[in-house]
Amino acid sequence: MVTIVVDSSSENFINVQCWLHENRQLMRITFIHAPTSFNVRILLWEELQQESTFNHLPWLCIRDFNEILYHWEKMGKRLAENFRLTAFRDFLHACSLMDLESKGCAFIWTNRRSGQENVKKRLDRALCTLEWRIAYPVAEVIALPAIGSDHSPLLLSLNPKTDRRRREFRYEAYWAEDEDCRKLVKRTWDDS
């Protein structure tokens, strides 16, 4: 069972405290929809930075930051301006947030144009504090295919099911020619 209490909200974010009854852990989650205007986005980051100073819980920020961290997170048209990337990185640093790498779709947003006009970016992501990552070390984010939207939905799994495949034993034919191998097999067979 999960209990969620909304702490604060604005036009661009919702701050909640989330109590996971199963493992008795409390965390803070901030759902983001950053403005498209860079100057207004800076104001949002300043507000979140201010809120982070009062936060003492493991913290996760997730969704649309409307910014990229690295040049490789954008494809098409002109190169992203360095001052924008630097400002976003400064925000992460000031709030002690780290990027949770996502699996699935590499580019999470597209302008849906064709040819040379097509632009794709990784605008949506999950960020967390070290305390959150320690509390949820196997958590993963998957960017699902975009259906009916220009953004791919993000799926956060705190305890993903791992596919534990048994290691297959493969016998190499040339081992039969090796005297040490024959002795090892015979000794192991006789001992069991």
Q: What is the pLDDT of residue 164?
A: 64
**Which residues are CB-neighbours of 48 under 8 A, at least 6 positions away?**
13, 30, 61, 91, 95
* Alpha carbon distance 186, 175 (integer Å): 13
Contact 105, 125 (CB under 8 A): no
Contact 114, 151 (CB under 8 A): no
Structure pTM? 0.81
Q: What is the pLDDT of residue 16?
A: 97
| CATH code, 175 | 3.60.10.10
- Cα 100 to the center of its chain, rounded Å: 3
Task: Provide the residue range defining the domain that includes 124.
Answer: 2-191
Residue 97's nearest CA partner among 30, 37, 160 is: 30
Q: What is the pLDDT of residue 167?
A: 66
DSSP 31-85: EEE--SSHHHHHHHHHHHHHHHTT--S-EEEEEE-S--SSGGGEESSSPPPHHHH
Query: Considering its fold, how many domains does the chain have in total?
Result: 1
- Residues of the chain below pLDDT 50: none
